[in-house]
Amino acid sequence: MYSKKIRDNHLSITISFKPFVFGLILLAAAFIMGCAEDSPSNPTATTPPATYLFYEGSLFAVDPDSLATPIQVDPGNITKIGQPLSYSTLETFWGVTSYNSGPPVSVSGLHIRTLVYARDGSFFKVSAQKGNGLPTPVQVSNENNAANICETHTGYDRAHHDNSSYLYRLPGSDNVCRTSDDLWKMIRLGMTRTDAPIPAKKPLIEIEAPSTGAMIGWLAIDNKNLYRYDTAFANPVLVTPFTTGVTDCTSNASDDLFLVVDNTLRLYNVSAGNLSPALHTFSGSGVNYCDEAEDKSNLYLRDGASLHKVPLNGNSPSSLLVKEGGNTLLSLVGTTDTRVIYKASGTSTSLKAVDKTEGTALVLDTISSALFAVESVVGNRIYYTVVEHSGHRTAKVVRDDGTIESSFSNAAWIGASIPTNLTIDSEFPVQTLILAEGLSADGKASNSTLKSVNPLTNTVIATLGTVPSDIQSLFLFGIGSKLLGTGFGGNPLRQSDVFFVNTDTPHSLTRVTNTPDKDEKSLF
């Protein structure tokens, strides 16, 4: 439930961009970014407020009810990150209309609420909600030196939206990013143009009150020590020193945070402020990247060529689930009701399932000269695309018992939506998947047909339309049924345009922009 979104690590909804390969790694901890003003403790399902959708070339808003007239929000150039300039400083803050502390935690009315970005050395915010006039940039803080940002991080307060925070790293006197004299600062969404940024430390993760979703502090790094700070990065309390590094592994909808400290997995209890002894010691040296999945009871963890499980309450150390051959590379995909799904790569690549109580792994699919782009695990089904070196795509659905339920040649899963009302108790929920059928033999999307699919039943909801002939790849993502996406052309510069679909409405695929001399990309 604790959000984690830091640009260096891309610990968020991570989209792997290859030509028409958009593998969506759905991380539960990243999306609970919402904020509910004085929300009730036991909400029922609620309808989110009407909002704009956004895309950037310069910054534009799209009214889903008036697609033909996009609104230019800011004609300026949004500042890019660091060296080289590769991605935007713009961050999207999501909101909810109600929050239930559970257990399990649930939220209702999930929606895009506020955008924050840097331009010309200053920060601006834009409300995404309709009904308050046209979306207009408002300056946030008196920061005037944000022209060269090295890194960003966001912190979410679901009880008080204006306390949600945008952290940023600036180069020091050497004017070079990621050196010892860099400076971290923080602004809050509620700051006016005269408020000064708050000096900060390198953030690891924000700490929230499980009962309300309110932000109550930070875990952050200063030299070779991990400290707990209050919400203004004051009153530090040492959590632990470390030698090589520390990273947040995952967290659950309770009072605990899993951390990797040097090469050990440990559990930090927020209320008590206690760090557990090692629950797992990694086989490698130094800090191990935490490749994990979880359900309501356990964290499932990759360590080299083996998978382990650890109780979410930290009451016992890790236990071995399965061990592959020594040179096999593993990556976790997700969990079904009874099994853990993972990929094993050696001389060939296999999609596998192992029982949560341990045992021999079941091979779900194997390929020798291609890769799997796994879109989602929903119920007991795994949705994935097989991508061959030639570019040929096959969209598949397999059950966790090995039954191949669907296999579509010249097709790929190219998008997803998440529900507006959901329970946060394990994996990231998916409401709808987008299937492209009729790809070319080398995987291009031109003239393919898009369909929305209910992943709970693997049935088609609607035929959405045909991809234009000049678009070779396309990806769509959003909340609920109204989604924006980015389509890439086939010219050497891969010029991009913005598209819209309503996943519930047949023939709703609409090209929002068509600008051969300009790139536009949708914002999530």
> What are 92-134's pLDDT values in tens digits?
888 888 877 766 777 888 889 999 999 999 999 999 999 888 9
Write 380-383 long-range contacts (CB < 8 A, 24+): 380/336, 380/337, 380/338, 381/336, 381/405, 381/455, 381/458, 382/333, 382/334, 382/336, 382/341, 382/351, 383/413, 383/433, 383/455
Structure tokens at 506: 């047949």
Q: Tell me how far the alpha carbon of residue 212 is from its chain's centroid.
A: 22
| Best mean pLDDT range from 272-286, 346-360, 458-472 | 458-472
Instruction: Report the candidate in 505, 506, 489 with the shortest Cα–Cα distance to residue 497.
Output: 489
Structure tokens at 349: 């690549």
CA distance 79 to 216: 30
CA distance 233 to 224: 17
256 touches 298 (CB < 8 A): no
Which range has the worst mean pLDDT, 143-157, 299-313, 479-493? Answer: 479-493
pLDDT value at position 98?
A: 83
Mean of pLDDT over the chain:
85
pLDDT value at position 423?
A: 76
Instruction: Report the candidate in 34, 33, 13, 11 with the shortest Cα–Cα distance to residue 23.
Output: 13
- DSSP per-residue codes, 62-83: EETTEEEEEEEEE-SPPPBBTT
CA quadruple 350, 354, 360, 362: dihedral sign: negative
Which range has the worst mean pLDDT, 147-151, 404-408, 453-457? Answer: 147-151
202-239 tens-digit pLDDT:
999 999 887 888 899 999 999 999 999 999 999 999 99
Alpha-carbon dihedral of residues 164, 211, 477, 20, nearest 10 degrees? 100
Instruction: Report the candidate in 210, 235, 267, 10 with the shortest Cα–Cα distance to residue 220.
Output: 235
pLDDT value at position 96?
A: 80
pLDDT value at position 38?
A: 34
CA distance 363 to 344: 10
CA distance 60 to 117: 13
pLDDT greater than 90 at residue 290: no
91 touches 155 (CB < 8 A): no
298-336 tens-digit pLDDT:
999 999 889 999 999 899 999 999 999 877 888 889 999
CA distance 155 to 405: 40
**What burial class does residue 486 get, using C-beta atoms within 10 Å of its C-beta: 0-12 exposed, 13-18 middle, 19+ buried?**
buried
Exposed e or buried b for every residue in 343-373, given b needs 16+ CB within 10 A?
bbeeeebbbbbbebeeeebeebbeeeebbbb
Instruction: Report the candidate in 173, 32, 159, 165 with the shortest Cα–Cα distance to residue 107.
Output: 32
**What burial class does residue 255 get, using C-beta atoms within 10 Å of its C-beta: 0-12 exposed, 13-18 middle, 19+ buried?**
middle
Structure tokens at 115: 């955008």
Residues 6+ apart with CB under 8 A from 432: 416, 417, 452, 453, 454, 455, 461, 481, 503
pLDDT value at position 14?
A: 29
pLDDT value at position 94?
A: 84
- Intra-chain end-to-end CA distance of the chain, in Å: 19
pLDDT value at position 425?
A: 57
pLDDT value at position 492?
A: 60
Average confidence (pLDDT) over 350-363: 92
Alpha-carbon dihedral of residues 110, 149, 142, 140, nearest 10 degrees? -10
DSSP state of 129: B
Instruction: Report the candidate in 60, 145, 51 with the shortest Cα–Cα distance to residue 94.
Output: 51
234-265 tens-digit pLDDT:
999 999 999 989 998 876 446 889 999 999 99
pLDDT greater than 90 at residue 275: yes
**What burial class does residue 57 get, using C-beta atoms within 10 Å of its C-beta: 0-12 exposed, 13-18 middle, 19+ buried?**
middle
31-70 tens-digit pLDDT:
333 333 333 334 467 788 899 999 998 899 999 999 999 9
